[in-house]
Structure 1
């Protein structure tokens, strides 16, 4: 289990991040997402934990993927619409800087703040106009030559 067995056990919160309220599926989904992100970074020649100074999980929920980065010497941030999910992250994932975002941009982060931004199953739930606004906003917080997946 990630982060010393720190996994969100709230069915209400975890079912928002996974397709069903099943802790095993929730954990497995986080593991698969971690593998996918690591593989993407490897193909880009930027392994996780290498030169990445800051990561943003946009739409972090209650930390299904965030909890997997507990051993990195990297600034780890998460942003989500759900105040209860962000509060859970703040309480249980002390290595994460978690914040609530609005439905529309902007984020509270400065320009060029992150080397990696990922948004897993977030943008597809939004109207096209909102997707485009978030695409531009995520581009704003990315550093030059950063990775977005």
Structure 2
């Protein structure tokens, strides 16, 4: 399960991927309004994405955000790796036990396999699927 921060980061990046060809930056206010992301939260997310080298910003009246790389070169798996870090086994087991450790290990393996799969899905892939007739994307 993704955190709201991670989901919003992915959504913002896919929006920037969809508009990448225009070469024009996307204003944070517009991105927040069109994607239903709380503007204050989006500003924090975009600042982190900039720090991570995923987006660049332009100041001024015509300013905004653009992807730092081509959307064909950036995968959802890489985004998750940068924003969330590697899958972890941190859980809510009150008392460590062999069963709890086995469950945690299975969950880590599953999350790692999912992350690997997402490394093969680029932002361009998702943006193209979203604008295709039907607009549904299944991973």
- Class of the TM-score when normalised by the shorter of the 2 chains: under 0.3
Choose between structure 1 and 2: higher helix proportion.
2
Higher RCO (C-alpha 8 Å, min separation 6): 2
Choose between structure 1 and 2: higher strand proportion.
1
- TM-score when normalising by structure 1: 0.25
- TM-score when normalising by structure 2: 0.26
